[in-house]
């Protein structure tokens, strides 16, 4: 989330949405996926990502599985049932936000 104040508050939405689409992912994978999907626009720093994952887990939205791959540990995250509900909620909040900002920013057409 380097340098872009507007992304504040949207990280948990992004994480939840990606996990909803991809089933399960590990932290590093999420940073890379976001970089590709946004064509480099959005770079999620590890200092932001990992605390966010821990919080979502603590809130009961994510569950964890450890796995050893190439002699390196990975923590795979996936949605809990509550997490699935939360994705839908977060996405509708995001859509509402975008709509509201467009009301404020775009010249009224009516």
Partner DNA sequence: TAATATACTTAAGATTCTTGGGTATAGCAA
Partner DNA sequence: TTGCTATACCCAAGAATCTTAAGTATATTA
Q: Which of 24, 35, 42, 84 binds a second copy (CB under 8 A)?
A: 42
Is the alpha carbon torsion for 3, 13, 51, 28 positive or negative? negative
* 97's tokens: 């936000």
Rounded-to-integer distance, Cα 93 and Cα 90, Å: 5
Q: Which of 9, 23, 51, 60 binds a second copy (CB under 8 A)?
A: 9
Reported as type and span, the H/E element at residue 91 is: helix 81-105
Tell me if 20 sits within 8 A of 87, measured CB to CB: yes
- Report the partner that residue 97 touches, choosing among a second copy, DNA, none (CB closer than 5 to 8 A by kind): a second copy
* 87's tokens: 């994705």
Q: Does 110 bind a second copy (CB under 8 A)?
A: no
Residues between 60 and 99 with contacts to a second copy, criterion CB under 8 A: 91, 93-98
Give the nearer residue to DNA in terms of CB position, either 17 or 55: 55
> Which range of residues in 39-47, 50-58, 59-67, 74-82 is near a second copy by CB under 8 A?
39-47
């Amino acid at each position: 989330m380097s340098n872009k104040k507007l992304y504040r508050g949207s990280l948990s939405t992004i994480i939840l949405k990606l996990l909803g689409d991809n089933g399960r992912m590990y932290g590093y994978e999420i940073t890379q996926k976001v970089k590709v999907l946004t064509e480099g626009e959005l770079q999620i720093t590890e200092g932001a990502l990992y605390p966010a994952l821990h919080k979502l887990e603590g809130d009961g939205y994510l569950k964890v599985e450890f796995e050893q791959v190439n002699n390196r540990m990975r923590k795979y995250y996936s949605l809990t049932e509550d997490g699935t509900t939360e994705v839908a909620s977060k996405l509708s909040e995001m859509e509402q936000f975008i709509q509201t900002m467009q009301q404020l920013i775009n010249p009224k057409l009516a």
